[in-house]
Amino acid sequence: MRNSLLVTSDLNAVVLVDTLQGDQRLVISKRGVLLSVLGTEICASEVPTTLEAFTNTAIGTKKAFFEFDASADATKNQLCISYNDENNTVFIIGITDIGVGFAGPMELPQAKVKTFAVRLKNSVGTGLVSPNVVLVRLETSGAKRFIRFYHLPAATNV
């Protein structure tokens, strides 16, 4: 799968898989990882210190469109990010509290699966870069850790 995204099982990094360049591991931190589209290719970058103020301003009072409990039992939870280049869409799938003891095909209850689709460009032929980005970042609330996803404009007037 050329140019796809994975979240490591320890939930500490996003890996951009590109068969032309190999494994590109990006650490999810409190600053986060930005996902964008250049042409028809997904791009990912850790947020550098110099852009931290920009991303915080872009978030403002926005709520994350999805949050995943990163402090929960990793053996019962799965987080996946996938990119479809045909329609410039990022798919985020979070699966929680699933027993791993089943021995065969099993349909997962809808209450255990949350799926989001984020189109970063209106169409494949529209522009070189996406006008929006997805910010994936680690945030804490008390003793709990969450990976939160924000849909943000790529540029602001600040």
Q: d(Cα 17, Cα 25) in Å, to the nearest integer?
A: 9
Q: Is residue 78 part of a domain?
A: yes
Residue 149 near residue 134, CB atoms below 8 Å:
yes
Q: Is residue 39 part of a domain?
A: yes
Q: Is residue 95 part of a domain?
A: yes
Q: d(Cα 55, Cα 23) in Å, to the nearest integer?
A: 26
Q: Is residue 136 part of a domain?
A: yes
Mean pLDDT on 76-86: 83
Residue 113 CB-density burial (10 A; 0-12 exposed, 13-18 middle, 19+ buried): middle
Q: Is residue 158 part of a domain?
A: no
Number of domains observed in the structure of the chain: 1
Instruction: Quote the tokens at residue 47.
Output: 């947020």
Mean pLDDT on 91-109: 76
Is pLDDT above 70 for 111?
yes
φ, ψ of residue 143 in degrees (nearest 5): -90, -5
Residue 118 near residue 89, CB atoms below 8 Å:
yes
Q: Is residue 135 part of a domain?
A: yes
Per-residue pLDDT, 101: 64
Structural domain that includes position 48: 4-153
The amino acid sitting at 55 is T
Mean pLDDT on 144-150: 93
Per-residue pLDDT, 1: 41
Q: d(Cα 121, Cα 119) in Å, to the nearest integer?
A: 6
Mean pLDDT on 62-72: 89
